[in-house]
Amino acid sequence: MRATEGISMDVGIVGLPQSGKTTVFNAVTRGSAETTTYGAGASPNLGVAKVPDGRLAVLEGIFKPKRRVPAEVTYVDIAGASDSPGESGAIVGESLNHLQRTDVLLVVARAFDDPSVPYAAGGIDPYRDSETMLDELANADLLILERRLARISEGFKGAKPPEREALNKEQSLLNRLKADLESGTALRDQELAVEDARPIEGFRLLTAKPLIILFNVGENQLSEVASLEEELSSTFTGPRIRVAALCGKLEMELVQMDSEDQREFRDSLEAADSGVDRMISVSHDVSDVITFFTGNTNEVRAWTLARGTPALNAAGNIHSDLERGFIRAEVVGYDDLARCGTMSEAKKNGLVRQEGKTYVVAEGDVVNVLFNV
């Protein structure tokens, strides 16, 4: 019998040396990883963050459960592969393997100025550093495509007509992707038909993943965060790209405080909004996922689910027994339930629907699976 926690959402954190990426990792995961630079081959830092969602508190008031369980995001702080910013092919070996297994990439660029933390020649330029890291991601993908194209060329030798046709088709596709990537168009921004996207899924190309650009600012830049994020949004564009700015050092210190001290300190700095909460929400939202809920007197829980997933598979994410013995799902939208205040009132108003296996679970659905095993 298998119980699961919904789909896993892994965010890989990368950045040039002295960008403060591990400090950002510690902030969002409430961790205490060593923040000194660590080199290629080192094991990544792993940490889990709870996704802030005000809807859970409302549902807790409705169901009166014993516990409340938010959705989660796992952050993977990848060891740097090179101490030389912009070195071609810097993302290789274990660093590449770890990044390929993540769902979302988070590029941390240094925007803070701190004389005690030396930086490379050229000074602080987060836009330049972001582009450098994006180039490194593209270079890693180009190497993968070039190796596969070389194997395809070898495969033509002695290939039979049907095999040659398949190799020709793949070669044409990869050459097109490679040309677009060399011209500066990431895989995530390229127009790919479904039949073309499937063959390259196994390559786990980095520029095909959703992307977050994060500027790590200093405390003296807190008042500029909103305007900086607006500027970032116009610079780094695309449906699968998000941007953010936060002070990693400050946020790392704040998350170690109790809630009352943290609130007072934020107020004194006029930084009432939690940069960490915004960062976690951005990490969750950039990928093509939804949140649905389950609720009863034992537990209220938020689940992360790939967009377009039918109710049968959503039930399997909760527990294998629910999928195996699925009868139907009782579904009510969060807004409807919150407005009614109780499930019985929602049912009285005809807002609770009976849905079958093929129903596509929507954002904010509150789901109760009826099953028999």
Q: What is the pLDDT of residue 172?
A: 94
Kindly state the average pLDDT of the residues 61-68.
97
Same domain for 328 and 362, yes or no, is: yes
- Residue type, position 221, single letter: Q
CA distances from 144 to 46, 141, 185 (A): 26, 5, 16
Among the residue ranges 39-48, 201-210, 241-250, 282-291, the one predicted with the least confidence is 39-48
For residue 279, give its domain range: 10-56+68-124+208-285
DSSP string, 292-309: EEEE-SSEEEEEEEETT-
CATH number of the CATH domain containing 107: 3.40.50.300
Whole-angstrom distance, CA of residue 73 vs CA of residue 71: 7
**For the chain, how many structural domains are there in total?**
3
Whole-angstrom distance, CA of residue 275 vs CA of residue 280: 9
Q: Kindly report the average pLDDT of the chain as a whole number.
A: 88
CATH number of the CATH domain containing 342: 3.10.20.30
pLDDT band at 182 (very low <50, low <70, confident <90, very high): very high
User: With 50 as the cut, is the pLDDT of residue 85 above it?
Assistant: no
Q: What is the pLDDT of residue 138?
A: 95
User: With 60 as the cut, is the pLDDT of residue 2 above it?
Assistant: no
What global pTM score does this model have?
Answer: 0.87
DSSP string, 9-36: -EEEEEE-TTS-HHHHHHHHHT-----S
pLDDT digit string, tens, across residues 323-333: 999 999 999 99
Same domain for 222 and 336, yes or no, is: no
pLDDT band at 279 (very low <50, low <70, confident <90, very high): confident
Rounded (5°) CA angle 142-89-172: 10
pLDDT digit string, tens, across residues 332-366: 999 999 999 999 999 999 999 999 999 999 999 99
pLDDT band at 40 (very low <50, low <70, confident <90, very high): low
Whole-angstrom distance, CA of residue 179 vs CA of residue 150: 15
Whole-angstrom distance, CA of residue 43 vs CA of residue 77: 9
- DSSP-assigned beta bridge partners for residue 214: 108, 244
As a whole-number percent, the residues of the chain with pLDDT over 70 amount to 91
pLDDT band at 34 (very low <50, low <70, confident <90, very high): confident
CA distances from 311 to 66, 171, 205, 329 (A): 26, 38, 30, 7
Q: Which of 143-147, 159-163, 250-254: highest mean pLDDT?
A: 143-147
Same domain for 35 and 113, yes or no, is: yes
Residue of 162, 170, 167 whose CA lies nearest to 195: 170
- DSSP-assigned beta bridge partners for residue 289: 306
Same domain for 113 and 31, yes or no, is: yes
pLDDT band at 265 (very low <50, low <70, confident <90, very high): confident
- DSSP-assigned beta bridge partners for residue 74: 10, 48
Q: Answer whether residue 150 is part of any domain.
A: yes
Helix (H) or strand (E) holding 171: helix 161-182
| Residue where one domain finishes, among candidates 206, 233, 261 | 206
| Residue where one domain finishes, among candidates 206, 227, 261 | 206
Count of beta carbons in the 10 Å neighbourhood of residue 155: 15
pLDDT band at 83 (very low <50, low <70, confident <90, very high): very low
Q: What is the pLDDT of residue 276?
A: 83
CB of 173 within 8 A of CB of 199? yes
As a whole-number percent, the residues of the chain with pLDDT over 90 amount to 62
CB of 110 within 8 A of CB of 20? yes
| Residue where one domain finishes, among candidates 164, 181, 206 | 206
Question: Torsion angle, CA of 135/233/102/89, rounded to 10 degrees?
Answer: 10
Same domain for 143 and 108, yes or no, is: no
- DSSP-assigned beta bridge partners for residue 47: 75
CB of 276 within 8 A of CB of 28? yes
